[in-house]
Structure 1
Amino acid sequence: LQSSCKISAGGEQISRLGFAVKGWHRITVPNTVVAALVADKTFSDPYFGSNLRSLPGMNYSTKTFFANQPMPEDSPFRCSWWYRTEFPLPADFASRNAWLHLDGINYRANIWINGQKIADSTEVAGTFRIFEFDATKFLHPGKRNALAIEIFAPRENDLALTWVDWNPTPPDKDMGIWKDVYLTATGPVTPRHPFVQTKLDADYRQATLTISAEVHNASQQPVKGALRAQFEGAALEEPVELAAGETKVIAFTPEKHAPLKLAHPRLWWPYQMGAPNLYAAQLEFLLAGKISDSAKVRFGIREVTSELTSKGYRLFRINGKPVLIRGGGWSSDMLLRRSSTRLRNELRYTKHMGLNTIRQEGKLEQDEFFDMADEMGILVMPGWCCCDMWEHWGDWTPENFKVAGASLQDQVYRLRSHASVLVWLYGSDNPPPAEVEKMYLKILQDEQWPNPAVSSASQTPTSVTGASGVKMTGPYDYVPPNYWLADKEAGGAYGFNTETGPGPAIPPLESLKRFLPADHLWPIDDYWNFHAGGERFSTIDIFRRGMDERYGKPGSLPDFLRKSEAMAYEGERAMFEAYARNKYDSTGVIQWMLNNGWPSLIWHLYDYYLVPAGGYFGTKKACETVHVQYSYDDNSVAVINGEQQPVNGVKVTARLYNLDAT
């Protein structure tokens, strides 16, 4: 890795074997530029104390989101940065087509192989695009090869990603290679974007499947072959003819292929409603009896629908059964670093708390996340982010329209087979204007999106699809536990609240010591506030005032932490309990947030170091499948049955405590 401002050579020279890389940074990929420079110790840990402020390029204004600003004039990330590698290519690539895959580039790139440019930044643009290039003629099978990718950071008018008020934005705006880069070898015809569309009858005892794939002929001559699909022991074939360079979608329908009609299918369910059963299908393209290329798809047989209740609230159903959505908002690591172990543990935490859903606002994780969610039976609500060019539709250029449409298409191809995906939100804080909404809806229809799609996370209606049936009314800061049942106009327990919560969540002492200097642990100062949020959440003052009034002014750090845990516990418990008691007048609630992208004092149910605290256990208690709870509005006791069958012969007992817990 190296800045283009530190080298005079261009792509033709940099992408040749033997190019001198003395003084370059040795890195692993995927990695953003700043993440790579942290990993090789060029930069000190940006998550500790106020170290992040000392990084070059951090002198941007905090009055607006950095995503909406140009890079500072003296930022090293105004320059493009080069990623370069040399690698041996197996000799058997000589008789095959070679494909270069880039699953995530932020934001633009020029791509060079062995001294030749194969794509430039006019076509390689978009954080959420997925690229594949025919690299056959540029590679040397059986020899060493060189690949060089020049990355340009997002500009203020690009459709990239933003951290909103969750945490600071790194000085490089997360520029770099943030997902996998790899080569594959195929024959002349490739099946891509495999998909299995499932339909269930009215009693959910019969299913019909349609298996499809896009087949592409990369050769310069017409071909005749067959697409074969293997599913549950059955082998199906469809004859295919393709002209030179032609692409077609080939489908196996239940009307023509009887094995695609299933009696008593193993349905996929969210984990609290049943087993998350999964199937798999293998597709192969045959030329002269030999496999040209293959693709595999894993899927669940299930039906997701949504409707507006008589009060206009959006209610989701899985396989015909209503489901109260209880979940949290997801954050990737602030530097987009990834860990399979961490992902799995975070999803395990989600289940352990009794939550059933994760919302991803513009932080669309790698395929592994969705694979795990499929397996664990956790629902996912992906969609675009707010507060940057994604919602500045009046300023969109023709390129923005192109990137937005292509990004949605790529994400639909990637996500439509995942059983865990509940809905796509194609707006966030605001719905798009009619022109953009119609473009999005056409793409969803053309690419057979199988799930509901909602115009935004807010209650603002559109002229195209009408009411959204959801709200994002907060609160995002501290409220007392009686708020959730008392409030009838904002974030209270009615309708579907896509992002809300009782505010700060102070990590326990063991975690505070990992990101605050010892001489700044107490009293609370600017080091603490730097690890709060942005905009109006830049301090935890409202939370502290609530503590003073409800529990008494803390006299020490241990006293503050003890009271903080109590406030987080009762706050999260009261919120989730209120939405459960009022189901299905309340249809969903997403705690803002589930986790953090860096060590933070706000908005999480477990901290950045995966240490659970009061909010975690308050949520876990509230989300018990069978739960007894107190109602703050009328002093009643409610029993909540989240099982899929009646609970009989049970008894509720109460125990009275004094205020000193005796």
Structure 2
Amino acid sequence: MPTFAQLSLSTGWNFKSSDDQSTEAWMPVATVPSVVHQDLIANKQLKDPYIGFNELDARWVNEKSWTYRNVFQKPAVPSGSSVILAFDGLDTFATVKLDGNVILESDNMFLAHRVDVTKALESDGEHVLEIDFDCAMLRARDLRAKDPNHKWVGFNGDPARMGVRKAQYHWGWDWGPVLMTAGIWRDVRLEVYSARVADLSTQVDLAADHQTAQVSAFAEVEVADPGASYNVNFVLSLHGKEVARAVAEPKDKVAKVVFEVNQPSLWWPHGYGDPTLYEISCSLERDEQILHQTSKTMGIRTSEVVQRPDKHGKSFFFRVNGVDIFCGGSCWIPADNLLPSISAERYRKWIELMVAGRQVMIRVWGGGCYEDDSFYQACDELGVLVWQDFMFGCGNYPTWPDLLASVEKEAIYNVRRLRHHPSIVIYVGNNEDYQVQEQSGLTYNFEDKDPQSWLKSDFPARYIYEKLLPSVVEQMSPSIYYHPGSPWGDGKTTSDPTVGDMHQWNVWHGTQEKYQIFDTLGGRFNSEFGMEAFPHMSTIEHFVENEADKYPQSHVLDFHNKADGHERRIATYLVENLRAAADLETHVYLTQVVQAETMMFGYRGWRRQWGDERHCGGALLWQLNDCWPTISWAIVDYFLKPKPAFYAVARVLNPIAVAVRREHHDWSVSHAQPPKKSNFELWIASSLQKEAKGMVELKFLSVNTGREVRQRVVHEDVTILPNGTTNIIVDGVLDYKELPEPLVLAARLWVDGKIVARDVDWPQPFKYLDLSSRGLYVQKVSQSENQQTLLVSAEKPVKCLVFEERDGVRVSDSAMDIVPGDEQTVTITGLKAGAAPLKYKYLGQ
């Protein structure tokens, strides 16, 4: 019997504009996967759309159709074998022809396709594979025009996008360009076999005491001779060592075995235990000959979303292996507009950054794509939980019968592809489509439980989110919780803070509240919130070509910020809090200070609420990353350079974090009159599973002199509650008659004799403070070939000390507050001996 063979079709391609019939029009494609913009750039037909205003010069590409062609030799086909042409992803309206005959028509970017071409390849020699990619933008507009009765309402991009199963951000978003890609965006290959394992999956039943687990393994097989006898050999391994082995004969095309695992090593999110992965492998055999073999990794764990009535309403938090997890993390957009350019290594670097930033959950947002396998594999290996949206975002989607059929195939294919990843703990129907329903006045009667009536309403996509998708998840991945939308909570308004998850945009968008009160605006799970900041100067210098454009409000900088009203919003938050700057470098830094402070105020307060009956179950900031070099809400820019907010969040998410905060005094409402008194609070948040003992110190330091202006408070032998909040001071008072100077409250926490956490509360707003002449000292105290250590101290309190971010260089901490008498160390990795020292900046410098 012939064994499974695979022939990549990654090379040998050419492409051209479909309407150019000349033979000279064909241009070479270096390799696929690729999209047309990459291939045009490689052939010098298009300038990099990420530079300057080049995106505008690339708009012509969006309205064209493209043809790709490959001439290949027929592979060796042993007797009894089939030949399958496999496409893992075609973007988007694709007509595939083999030797002039149409063999496939696809209109869904998120689907894979397998076409049996055995008969088509009977003749030896060369065969011509041609793919016509019709213009998605024009096709979308045609589809919209054919259904004028549908209410085409939504946020961002051309509303016609909702009729097309293509990554919605390609139509442009409030952080990204309009780049309508087309092409072979995932792998294409020929497969030759007489039998194969079509799918390998597992189901895990972990005992309540975690002492045993039952792992059921399923192999779905395709065989040319269904009357023949086949066996499937399964092996379960851990760290390369065999744990168990079993063999089964397929019945109804599925072979199943059950492994009993004693003392299983569990998969945990990072910070809670090791993200242990088992390997399940199987080989399809006949007459002792291996015809095909495959393997996957999987984890032994339980996950659930706990929703129960309590004094705040109804909880919404995640529990893994019986442990409640406060899910501090981020939302994820595609890491590039040109998706094939994202390598597995780049995906992993993003997830490594999350772990370095102590973030435990990533939310794959519904306007992008179901990500590459390497993204989820990195999350599995590094212990990052995944919140997975389905690909519907910010719109009222139509439900034509052929579109529903395509969506169902898309959901089945992707849940089936992703279900072995232990990192995925929730599937969510859409992003903000219920908000569109509310704001547009579309029909939604939660009490109506008739799915057919939903299809006849002016909000027909409810059928997708509350009938179609949950049915697929229940069928394909029954152990994973399904949530109809984000935000959503039991059919109540999406802004209801007592139930479900919410997107809190009344800082930045909406009512533009002060960021200092962010924690009072949250709900049971805050799955979106954010504040814009400029990227680092090195990133700005990448896309700003002319030196004359390097000023804060330049045309090209505004062009690279796609957020509506960003000029006035950035200006508002800057002018309310900081002294304005005319030079670009300082302006960049000031926006980053505001973003860091905003994220700190939100995360710090919401994490405290975790200890109050899980009042807040998690916080996922918008957003971790960018899809091009831009100005956005990202806390790490396109080139993987962390902004100060990245470090501010990491400190708040420390396993044990101390926090001090005085009450907010709204200086703008009080006409800049200072308060006479302020209440303050001091507490500790812990994600540890065991009680700890510590010592807390709180100092009161003059901003102007650095001297202590009130006797410090010390609490020794403090019992730190596990996985919750320990309140140290809840009724502290600052009397400004006795303390006339502006002062900071500086808290430190010792555990086992070591300082494990710090926090500094500053008088607000910063613009009223004189922060010059701080007496800051940054001294190199050690240097190895690839690493150096800095000792940082100050004579007066220093706000937001930020170190330069360089390619290949990582700093252990940044955006730091430094107070007198508290030296801190910073480790710099990747900076070679003899290299120029990192530059740094602090507020008021």
Q: Under a length normalisation based on structure 1, what TM-score does the superposition of the two structures give?
A: 0.85
Asked whether the 8 Å contact 1:83–1:149 carries over to 2, the reply is yes
Judging changes above 3 Å, is the alpha-carbon distance between structure 1 residues 426 and 515 closer, same or farther for their aligned structure 2 residues?
same
Say whether residues 1:303 and 2:302 are aligned partners: yes
2:437 — aligned with what?
none
Measure, in 2, the Cα distance between the counterparts of 1:386 and 1:475: 23
Deviations 1:48-100 (A, max 9, x none): 1111012243xxxxxxxxxxxxxxxxxx5544311222345553666633322
Deviations 1:328-373 (A, max 9, x none): 1112201223122321211111111111111111332110111111
Whichever residue aligns with residue 535 of structure 2, its letter is P
2:556 — aligned with what?
527
Matches within 5 A, 1:556-635: 556-583=583-610, 584-633=614-663, 635=680
Judging changes above 3 Å, is the alpha-carbon distance between structure 1 residues 470 and 166 closer, same or farther for their aligned structure 2 residues?
same
1:73 — aligned with what?
none
Measure, in 1, the Cα distance between the counterparts of 2:659 and 2:74: 63
Asked whether the 8 Å contact 2:393–2:433 carries over to 1, the reply is no
| Count of equivalent residues | 603
2:185 — aligned with what?
178
Say whether residues 1:250 and 2:255 are aligned partners: yes
Moved more, 190-199 or 637-646: 637-646
Measure, in 1, the Cα distance between the counterparts of 2:431 and 2:203: 27
Judging changes above 3 Å, is the alpha-carbon distance between structure 1 residues 194 and 555 closer, same or farther for their aligned structure 2 residues?
same
Q: Secondary structure at the match of 1:105?
A: coil
Judging changes above 3 Å, is the alpha-carbon distance between structure 1 residues 142 and 366 closer, same or farther for their aligned structure 2 residues?
farther
Judging changes above 3 Å, is the alpha-carbon distance between structure 1 residues 129 and 236 closer, same or farther for their aligned structure 2 residues?
same
Residue 506 of structure 1, CA deviation: 1.0
Residue 114 of structure 1, CA deviation: 3.9
Deviations 1:7-53 (A, max 9, x none): 27xxxxxxxxxxx6664243421112123212332111111111101
Deviations 1:540-573 (A, max 9, x none): 3212222112112223223312322321221222
2:345 — aligned with what?
341
Say whether residues 1:354 and 2:361 are aligned partners: no
Say whether residues 1:44 and 2:47 are aligned partners: yes
Measure, in 2, the Cα distance between the counterparts of 1:27 and 1:275: 41
Whichever residue aligns with residue 215 of structure 2, its letter is L
Deviations 1:480-510 (A, max 9, x none): 442223x3xxxx2441011111x21111222
2:518 — aligned with what?
484
Whichever residue aligns with residue 516 of structure 2, its letter is N
Matches within 5 A, 1:215-294: 215-219=221-225, 222-232=227-237, 233=242, 234-240=244-250, 248-252=253-257, 254=258, 260-294=259-293
Residue 582 of structure 1, CA deviation: 1.1
Moved more, 466-475 or 44-53: 466-475
Asked whether the 8 Å contact 2:332–2:625 carries over to 1, the reply is yes
Deviations 1:456-476 (A, max 9, x none): 01135349xx99711123246
Matches within 5 A, 1:490-529: 492-501=521-530, 503-517=531-545, 518-529=547-558
Measure, in 2, the Cα distance between the counterparts of 1:558 and 1:239: 67
Residue 589 of structure 1, CA deviation: 1.0
Say whether residues 1:127 and 2:121 are aligned partners: no
Paired residue for 1:469, among 496, 500, 503?
Answer: 500
Q: Secondary structure at the match of 2:27?
A: coil
Judging changes above 3 Å, is the alpha-carbon distance between structure 1 residues 116 and 79 closer, same or farther for their aligned structure 2 residues?
same
**Identity, % of aligned pairs?**
21
Paired residue for 2:384, among 355, 378, 388?
Answer: 378
2:671 — aligned with what?
none
Q: Secondary structure at the match of 2:273?
A: coil
1:71 — aligned with what?
none
Residue 166 of structure 1, CA deviation: 3.5
Moved more, 271-280 or 360-369: 360-369
Whichever residue aligns with residue 554 of structure 1, its letter is A
Measure, in 2, the Cα distance between the counterparts of 1:80 and 1:323: 48
Judging changes above 3 Å, is the alpha-carbon distance between structure 1 residues 383 and 249 closer, same or farther for their aligned structure 2 residues?
farther
Deviations 1:632-653 (A, max 9, x none): 5452122111223222234334
- Taking CA–CA contacts closer than 8 Å with sequence separation of 6 or more, which of the two structures ends up with the larger relative contact order? 1
Whichever residue aligns with residue 119 of structure 2, its letter is K
Measure, in 2, the Cα distance between the counterparts of 1:203 and 1:407: 37
Whichever residue aligns with residue 566 of structure 1, its letter is V
Measure, in 2, the Cα distance between the counterparts of 1:482 and 1:2: 54
Measure, in 2, the Cα distance between the counterparts of 1:89 and 1:323: 54
Structure 1 alignment gaps of length 5 or more: 9-19, 58-75, 243-247, 255-259
Say whether residues 1:651 and 2:696 are aligned partners: yes
1:442 — aligned with what?
471
Judging changes above 3 Å, is the alpha-carbon distance between structure 1 residues 565 and 169 closer, same or farther for their aligned structure 2 residues?
closer
Whichever residue aligns with residue 623 of structure 2, its letter is M
Measure, in 1, the Cα distance between the counterparts of 2:25 and 2:548: 40
Judging changes above 3 Å, is the alpha-carbon distance between structure 1 residues 352 and 93 closer, same or farther for their aligned structure 2 residues?
farther
Asked whether the 8 Å contact 2:233–2:248 carries over to 1, the reply is yes
Measure, in 1, the Cα distance between the counterparts of 2:680 and 2:282: 60
Whichever residue aligns with residue 229 of structure 1, its letter is F
Whichever residue aligns with residue 638 of structure 2, its letter is Y
1:407 — aligned with what?
410
Q: Secondary structure at the match of 1:603?
A: coil
Measure, in 1, the Cα distance between the counterparts of 2:40 and 2:178: 12
Q: Secondary structure at the match of 1:52?
A: helix
Judging changes above 3 Å, is the alpha-carbon distance between structure 1 residues 287 and 458 closer, same or farther for their aligned structure 2 residues?
same
Measure, in 2, the Cα distance between the counterparts of 1:25 and 1:86: 12
1:245 — aligned with what?
none
Deviations 1:514-562 (A, max 9, x none): 112322111413322221124x3x5232122221121122232233123
Whichever residue aligns with residue 379 of structure 2, its letter is A
Measure, in 2, the Cα distance between the counterparts of 1:274 and 1:641: 15
Asked whether the 8 Å contact 2:221–2:250 carries over to 1, the reply is no
Measure, in 2, the Cα distance between the counterparts of 1:199 and 1:320: 14
Matches within 5 A, 1:39-188: 39-57=42-60, 77-88=62-73, 90-91=75-76, 96-119=81-104, 121=105, 124-139=106-121, 144-154=126-136, 155=140, 156=160, 157-163=163-169, 165-171=173-179, 173-187=180-194
Measure, in 1, the Cα distance between the counterparts of 2:249 and 2:118: 27
Q: Secondary structure at the match of 2:623?
A: coil
Residue 141 of structure 1, CA deviation: 9.4
1:453 — aligned with what?
482
Asked whether the 8 Å contact 2:549–2:556 carries over to 1, the reply is yes
Matches within 5 A, 1:14-33: 23-33=26-36
Q: Secondary structure at the match of 2:119?
A: helix
Measure, in 2, the Cα distance between the counterparts of 1:153 and 1:94: 41
Judging changes above 3 Å, is the alpha-carbon distance between structure 1 residues 410 and 88 closer, same or farther for their aligned structure 2 residues?
same
Q: Secondary structure at the match of 2:86?
A: strand
Asked whether the 8 Å contact 1:327–1:590 carries over to 2, the reply is yes
Measure, in 2, the Cα distance between the counterparts of 1:210 and 1:500: 40
Judging changes above 3 Å, is the alpha-carbon distance between structure 1 residues 650 and 40 closer, same or farther for their aligned structure 2 residues?
farther
Measure, in 2, the Cα distance between the counterparts of 1:56 and 1:439: 36
Residue 285 of structure 1, CA deviation: 2.1
Max radius of gyration: which structure?
2
Residue 593 of structure 1, CA deviation: 0.4
2:442 — aligned with what?
none
Measure, in 2, the Cα distance between the counterparts of 1:96 and 1:44: 46
Q: Secondary structure at the match of 1:31?
A: coil
Measure, in 2, the Cα distance between the counterparts of 1:287 and 1:386: 44
Measure, in 1, the Cα distance between the counterparts of 2:499 and 2:191: 42
